């Protein structure tokens, strides 16, 4: 990690600084006084520090970091130079970020492919990277997650009519991105197996 941080000051710095850019920090911007050149803030160094601070808070996609730099009035060519360098040394990696996001959303919220695709798009992950990540999801594992969600929810719906249970369970799975066909199959199995619906 330390080697990667040190490497962000490498050869692309010279390219970014070959045409000096005027840095126009927003009022009160804490990064504005990080480093200066001829009395003016150094655009590359300020942008680099902004990106490093953002990554220290939490992993982020390249697009999220690009958007953050734009809100700080960073020139676009300087932003791209910084992000290219961060990508070269592995500090910005959209494939790794997408994989981490998918795993966390699966584990924490039980999201399925469709909802995960929306999450990745919202976070600025490009379609090609998102598709490659989502293609790694095991359909059987997704079905198992749906069954676990239904079983957990069904325990809190004791005493309701089966049709009411089905409607509520289907709505829950739809919001989490599960296909309707898979959802209804899992729901039917769970309700049929529920002790309250067993007949002597």
Q: How does pLDDT run across 162-175, given as a tens digit for each residue?
A: 999 999 999 999 99
Are 82 and 99 part of one and the same domain? no
38 falls in which pLDDT band (50, 70, 90)?
low
Say how many C-beta atoms besides its own lie within 10 A of residue 84's C-beta: 14
pLDDT digits (tens, 9 = 90+) for 99-116: 999 999 999 999 999 999
Are 71 and 113 part of one and the same domain? no
What is the domain range of residue 148?
139-197
Task: Check: CB of residue 25 under 8 Å from CB of residue 41.
Answer: yes
Please indicate, yes or no, whether the overall pTM of this predicted structure exceeds 0.85: no
- Pull the structure tokens for residue 17: 């600084």
Residue 55 has pLDDT above 90, yes or no: yes
How does 129-164 read in b/e, with b if 16+ C-beta sit within 10 Å?
bbeebbeeeeeeebbebbbebbeebbeebeeeeeee
Are 144 and 130 part of one and the same domain? no
Are 126 and 185 part of one and the same domain? no
């Amino acid at each position: 990690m330390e080697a990667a941080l040190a490497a962000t000051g490498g050869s692309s710095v010279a390219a970014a600084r070959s045409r000096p850019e005027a840095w126009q920090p927003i009022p009160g911007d804490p990064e504005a006084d990080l480093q200066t050149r001829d009395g003016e803030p150094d655009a590359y160094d300020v942008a680099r520090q902004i990106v490093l601070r953002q990554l220290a808070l939490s992993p982020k996609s390249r697009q999220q970091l690009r958007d953050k730099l734009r809100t700080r009035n960073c020139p676009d060519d300087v932003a791209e130079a910084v992000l290219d360098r961060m990508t070269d040394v592995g500090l910005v990696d959209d494939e790794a970020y997408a994989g981490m996001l998918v795993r966390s959303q699966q584990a924490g919220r039980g999201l399925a492919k469709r909802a995960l695709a929306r999450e990745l798009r919202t976070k600025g992950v490009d379609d090609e990277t998102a598709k490659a990540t989502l293609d790694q999801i095991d359909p059987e594992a997704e079905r198992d997650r749906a069954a676990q969600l239904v079983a957990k929810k069904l325990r809190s719906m004791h005493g309701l009519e089966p049709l009411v249970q089905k409607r509520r369970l289907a709505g829950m799975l739809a919001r989490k991105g599960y296909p309707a066909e898979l959802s209804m199959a899992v729901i039917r199995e769970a309700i049929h197996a529920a002790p309250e619906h067993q007949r002597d």
